[in-house]
Amino acid sequence: MDFDVIVIGGGHAGAEAANASAKMGLRTLLLAVNLDTIGAMPCNPAVGGPGKSHLAREVDALGGVIGIAADATYLQLRTLNSSRGPAVQALRAQSDKREYSRWIKNYLETLPNLTLKQGMVNRFITQGNRITGVELAFGERISARAVVLCAGTFLEGTIWIGKQTQPAGRAGEFPAIGLSENLRALGFTTGRLKTGTPPRIDGRTIDYTNLPSVPGDPDPDFFSFLDNRPVREQIPCHQTRTTDRTHEIIRANLHESPMYSGMIHGIGPRYCPSIEDKVVRFADKDSHSLFLEPEGRDTYEVYLQGCSTSLPVAVQLEIVHSLPGLENASMVRAAYAVEYDYLPAVQFTHALMAKDLEGFFAAGQILGTSGYEEAAAQGIVAGINAALFVLGKEPMKLQRSSSYTATLVDDLVTKEIGEPYRMMTSRSEYRLLLRQDNADARLTPFGREIGLVDDYRWSLFCKKQEAIESEKKRLAKTRVKPDEQWNAVLSEYDEEMKQNCSLEELLRRPRVPYAAIERVAPAIDGASFAYAMEVETDIKYAGYIERQKAQVEQAEKFDNVRLPQDINYTELLHLSKETREKLNRIRPETLGQAARIGGVRPADVSVLLVHLETQRRKQRHATKSGAEEHSDSLVSGGV
């Protein structure tokens, strides 16, 4: 068999990579160990949250599937941080995990140019420094011009419950054995990471009587920028908390934890710690919040969010019974930790292609991240660039200032990250520009140019942008005067109109929301303006936005300075030894990327600038000298 692109793995990264490649017209094969677990949610059955909702919407804006799938299968939709600024507001969907997986699989099965096949890759086939295909476990060979590896936690995966262990990519699924050795033979460096999952509880055995309910939003927002999103009945989540008894149980059994006993060597996620980690690291806290999240409409399983652990099953049950409302609860599935191999992403370019193996791409947890949204964002980048590679075109280049997706990729390939990377809004220095509400304005034109955004989505996008610009113009040119109606509305926000002003000037006031304008001077009679958030943010934060744009322009000056890939940094003695080693190992493509490498100081950037200028002058002098010699030879030859 012969394909243009092979995608290995059917998780969130693999689904996006396969979708992108196939929609761009490439003959694409998606290989999965088990076709029944395509699009699975093995951990938290949810999409979104701070930073993560930005990624999900960016993937959707480019033409991906995570946003549409989340909208189609939600149990609950809720906007987090709604009382805070627009840069950190984040949509979160509690998802029906089985329905989500079925939706993804059904979508991929009907996608033109895409073939799904069950099989485990045994090794990669190469010719020189280029990938040419894969060999499956039973000897079958499949050729391709590009391969995208989205192996998740399956490379040499091992799960731990207490001091008991077994090989598995995740509970109940075979790991990929031997592929790490093949990757190392091809010159890759591998590392070891760890993640975990909490117990699942029989919801019928939980006493919800005194537990706080966490409902969805009555008028929910959605992830996808497409229209006609389904309105579904929402199911509430509930909250419980750890107790003194919970902490006593954990402290008394730390010696049974494979992590604390030194049996697990992989590094776990800092921002999603196990319950043991929380109790040890935050010893001053007498309680930690946990959430009871339903896993689906047709199952009674409940996810105990915040209680990830690898303690023995008997200890897990004690912990569960120490929680309010769960005194008589039954565990349906035990929690476990999973340890797995990964490829440090500094071995890859910003296109997510290996620096030393042409046509080989990777995305997702195998590059050291955690989370479905991080995987999906990498998946669509890798899928797009694999397709562009096969087509002989330049890779998609998203500046760090364009998106959280570009921030994620830039962080991965320029910073040596020793723990699972999780996206947060604090990761971006341009977060007021990179809001979840304007992801389409930032990225849909890229998706259109590449071929992932169809005519229908493009028409919706254009209509939306026209509506936003039209409303901004209306607010700027419409002037109003003080009267009883206006001041009655404004008084609710401790404001008053004393002289004539434009609606735009009113909206610039910090305490006056767009909703106040709409009550007296609506854009549409009898209906709310659909894009109020974008309009209000652009007007109210105009000064800050312009300031960030100026910062972007300054930063992009360095990003536009290319670094020759043949520089021998060991010869630049004015750089520190650590900096020379890192630059030689990572080999940044631009000065801006070099500046973002951990340990590279502003003084080092100045040294690089001086070196580049010196080389430029030498080259110019050599060119000038060569031209003069050529002129002399012409004269001496009698021309």
Domain limits, the chain: 2-447, 463-545, 561-636
Using alpha carbons, select from 361, 279, 394, 369 the residue that is nearest to residue 4. 361
Span of 80-84, 349-353, 388-392, 489-493 with lowest mean pLDDT: 80-84
pLDDT band at 1 (very low <50, low <70, confident <90, very high): low
Supply the DSSP symbol for 346.
G
**At residue 327, does pLDDT exceed 90?**
yes
In whole angstroms, how large is the CA radius of gyration of the chain? 27
Give backbone dihedrals phi and psi of 123, rounded to 5 degrees, phi first.
-160, 165
* CA angle in degrees (0–180, nearest 5) for 608-613-618: 125
- pLDDT per residue as tens digits for the range 628-639: 555 555 445 544
Supply the DSSP symbol for 415.
S
- pLDDT per residue as tens digits for the range 227-241: 988 899 999 999 999
pLDDT band at 369 (very low <50, low <70, confident <90, very high): very high
Q: Where does 81-174 have alpha helices with state H?
A: 97-109
pLDDT given at position 639: 40
**Residue 315, CB-side half-sphere exposure with 13 Å CA sphere:** 25
Instruction: Compute the distance between CA of residue 486 and CA of residue 472 in angstroms, rounded to an integer.
Output: 20
* CA angle in degrees (0–180, nearest 5) for 253-202-205: 95
Using alpha carbons, select from 379, 461, 399 the residue that is nearest to residue 56. 379
Q: Where does 39-164 have alpha helices with state H?
A: 52-62, 66-72, 97-109
The CATH number for 2-447, chosen from 3.50.50.60, 3.30.390.50, 3.40.630.30, 3.40.50.300, is 3.50.50.60
pLDDT given at position 21: 98
Using CB atoms within 10 A of its CB, is residue 192 exposed (0-12), middle (13-18) or buried (19+)?
middle
pLDDT band at 624 (very low <50, low <70, confident <90, very high): low
Provide CB contacts within 8 A for 448, sequence distance 6+: 458, 461
Provide CB contacts within 8 A for 489, sequence distance 6+: 516, 519, 520
Mean per-residue pLDDT, 559-582 = 85
415 versus 15: which is more confidently predicted? 15
Count CB neighbours of 505 within 10 A.
Answer: 16
**At residue 424, does pLDDT exceed 80?**
yes
Within its chain, how far is the Cα of 234 from the centroid? Answer: 26
Task: Report whether 57 contacts 442 (CB < 8 A).
Answer: no
Mean per-residue pLDDT, 63-71 = 97
Domain 463-545: assigned CATH number:
1.10.10.1800
Put residue 187 in one of left, alpha, beta given phi > 0 → left and psi -120 to 50 → alpha. Answer: left
pLDDT given at position 638: 45
Strand order in the sheet with 74-80: 46-48, 90-95, 74-80
Span of 239-243, 262-266, 362-366, 426-430 with lowest mean pLDDT: 262-266
Superfamily of domain covering 561-636: GidA associated domain, C-terminal subdomain (1.10.150.570)
Span of 13-22, 298-307, 526-535 with lowest mean pLDDT: 526-535
Sign of CA dihedral 298, 304, 310, 313: negative
418 versus 145: which is more confidently predicted? 145
**At residue 261, does pLDDT exceed 80?**
no
- pTM of this prediction? 0.91
Length of the chain (residues) = 639
Mean per-residue pLDDT, 143-149 = 98
pLDDT given at position 457: 97
pLDDT band at 67 (very low <50, low <70, confident <90, very high): very high
pLDDT band at 553 (very low <50, low <70, confident <90, very high): confident
Give backbone dihedrals phi and psi of 179, rounded to 5 degrees, phi first.
-70, -35
Can you state the angle between helices 439-450 and 455-477, rounded to 10 degrees? 140
**At residue 262, does pLDDT exceed 80?**
no
DSSP H or E segment with residue 27: none
pLDDT given at position 230: 87
Average pLDDT of every residue of the chain: 91
Put residue 113 in one of left, alpha, beta given phi > 0 → left and psi -120 to 50 → alpha. Answer: left
pLDDT band at 381 (very low <50, low <70, confident <90, very high): very high
Alpha carbon separation from 597 to 397, 411, 428, 564, 587 (Å, rounded)? 19, 8, 15, 17, 10
